[in-house]
Amino acid sequence: MTSKIAILPGDGIGPEIIDEAVKVLNCLQANHGLDIEMESAHIGGAAYDESGSPLPQATLDLCKASNAILLGAVGGPQYESLERDLRPEKGLLGLRSELELFSNLRPAILYPQLANASSLKPEIVSGLDIMIVRELTGGIYFGQPRGIRSLEGGEREGYNTLVYAEHEIERIARSAFDVAMKRDKKVCSVDKANVLEVSELWREVMIRVSKDYPEVELSHMYVDNASMQLVKWPKQFDVMVTKNMFGDILSDTAAMLTGSIGMLPSASLDQNGKGMYEPIHGSAPDIAGTNTANPLATILSVAMMLRYSLNESVIADLIEQAVSDVLDQGIRTQDIADGGAYVSTREMGDAVVKALQK
Ligand code: NAD
């Protein structure tokens, strides 16, 4: 069956990097039998410029009708003075909540060819391949009540609520175990069960769900230890699953282990495996329009899309192998060139397509 893919280039370098990802998809259609149709729409600042809304109804309708969404990036300095509801980021957040994308997959992969880009010793990080599964639509960022209130005597206090219902924990657990089944079958659940009741319940539900995945090895780690272990011995991890706020922090630490923001893809999935795929970096206004952005994070987002939403693991492997081949050939964009020679955004996309055609 033909899969429909919504293509949302967005702002800044978004259109440039998305062009290269589309090139890769066209090649897979022509040479590897990938059965897809693509349709583009505006989001973020580009959508605001066109229609006055960062998430127009037509874009939302297209995304709802698609099997997967590929997004470039949103945002830019020209939109920063807009009122909050009209800012580009609102388009992205709106899409995540409208589509109930509760499971955020953030891989931290360091290709051995780029091991020197990390601030950690190459032997600690070379070949690193961790997947952080972060709960994205619940927890303390959304819990009620929240606010700032005045106390007797006039002092104010701020308060937020960390709350997870069992069904929210269960669905993120299943998401993590499903991901682990496609990888090395190890899940480390990160919590703070020694202090927080919500973590006690989290741990209990993780253990219960793990019974449905007898092949997957489940372990538990307190979040403070997890942050230490990530920089001490990151290769011990396969899949890490955690709450919204812990995941927010740990996934940025893990991303920085690799030292190359232009290389990291991400996915946000709903209950049925439909997902939005995007590089972890932003719209990089400082280099937009210069044909120097690294398109590999977006191309690797395509690989994630094929693996997690379209069930095309074999073709996903081909993309990842093509990226590795290109790095083997010494082809680099400016951000990963370590001061050496580099190619343009378009030349990097062409190199991946050429490697795929071999
Ligand atoms: P950024 O990720 O856009 O850029 C940080 C630095 O990394 C810049 O120097 C940039 O040139 C570089 N960089 C980023 N992607 C690159 C790539 N593919 N190739 C080469 N270099 C790359 O973060 P920022 O500067 O903090 O934010 C810029 C804008 O992006 C802001 O408006 C912000 O709100 C937005 N943003 C959007 C998203 C998203 O769309 N998901 C995420 C983060 C930031």
48 assigned to active site: no
- Residue by residue, DSSP assigns 204-219 as HHHHHHHTT-TTSEEE
Q: Which of 11, 238, 248, 335 is catalytic?
A: 248
Q: Is the CB of 9 under 6 A from ligand 1?
A: no
129 assigned to active site: no
Distance (Å, whole) CA 298 – CA 15: 11
Q: Is the CB of 281 under 6 A from ligand 1?
A: yes
* pLDDT for the residue 193: 96
* pLDDT for the residue 117: 81
Give me ligand 1 centre to Cα 316, in Å: 25
DSSP secondary structure code for residue 151 in this structure: P
The residue ranges of the chain whose pLDDT is under 70 are none
- Residue by residue, DSSP assigns 51-77 as HS-SS-HHHHHHHHHSSEEEEEE---G
> Which of 177, 229, 180 is CA-nearest to residue 207?
177
Nearest atom in ligand 1 to the alpha carbon of residue 71 is 40
* pLDDT for the residue 116: 84
Q: Is the CB of 75 under 6 A from ligand 1?
A: yes
Instruction: Set out the domains of the chain in order of their start, with CATH numbers.
Output: 1-102+270-358 (3.40.718.10), 129-257 (3.40.718.10)
141 assigned to active site: yes
Nearest atom in ligand 1 to the alpha carbon of residue 334 is 20
Distance (Å, whole) CA 213 – CA 241: 15
* pLDDT for the residue 258: 86
Which residues, 6+ apart, have CB-to-CB distance to 326 below 8 Å?
348, 351, 352, 355
Q: What is this structure's pTM?
A: 0.92
Nearest atom in ligand 1 to the alpha carbon of residue 286 is 11
